[in-house]
Amino acid sequence: MKIRGLNRKGQEVVSNFGIVGIIGIVFLVVVILGIWYFSTRGEQAAGSIPENAEIIAQACSVVATESSINSYCLQIREVKSGVYATCDKMSNYNIVVTDSDGTNVQINSMNEKCKQYATQLESKIREACVSGDYKGKPNIEINSKKCSAYLTGTCQAKSNIKACTELSSTTCNSQSNCEWIADTANSSKGKCQQKSNLAVCTTITDLYQCNSRSDCEVKYTN
């Protein structure tokens, strides 16, 4: 493009200035967008870290140094309202636990040991969800799972109850789950059987309700 009043050299200067100006504008836009992106991501990351993260990390670091299985693997700690975790699962909540010297030697060792106590921890969490601190609170989260997720299974009559059919007439009615059914033709004869209301256990789908009954129990599947 030629510009009147300017010689060839002047036109080249103007043209080059225009290209430089465009590149400068593009660069400025990229810088602004980059600043906005990283500041937004930083705010999101900061918002995902619990307020008491440092306190939890220090406490877990101390019990790891002491090799305390109960405190590190089995103690359920509050991360934030409605959310709890054991030390070996704190990384799920952006809480970084390290050894006192900044390494991960002891932490990694304890995390491996915790795997051996997974069943014991599961039982402890179930107990807490059924009759302990989290009773009636299915949405409480523990180690990235809701309380309700720990209660998967079927409702059945309690397994520790002695079979009613094995009992005599004198011992039948002494069992809370049994009843004596007299023979209509001969009242001195009859049979001992499980109370009919125990059949209700198998129809209960709400496992919280199942555990609240004295005659029923949950057979867990996980």
- On whether both 157 and 192 belong to a single domain, the answer is yes
pLDDT tens, 82-100?
999 999 999 999 999 999 8
**Full residue range of the structural domain in which residue 128 is found:** 53-150
Q: Are residues 74 and 9 in the same domain?
A: no
pTM above 0.85, yes or no: no
Pairing of strands 141-142, 77-80: unpaired
Beta-carbon count within 10 A of 93 CB:
19
Residue 45 located in a structural domain: no
Domain match, 144 and 57 both: yes
Nearest 5°: the CA angle 35, 53, 117 is: 130
- Whether residue 137 is found in the same domain as residue 201: no
Number of domains in the chain: 3
State whether 64 and 98 are in the same domain: yes
pLDDT in tens, 10-40: 555 445 556 666 776 767 777 666 665 555 4
Q: Which residue has 């590190």 as its token pair?
A: 72
Q: Determine, yes or no, domain membership for 46.
A: no
144 shares its domain with 85: yes
Whether 48 maps to a domain, the answer reads no
Domain end marker among 150, 171, 188: 150
Q: Is the pLDDT of residue 212 over 70?
A: yes
Res 2: pLDDT:
47
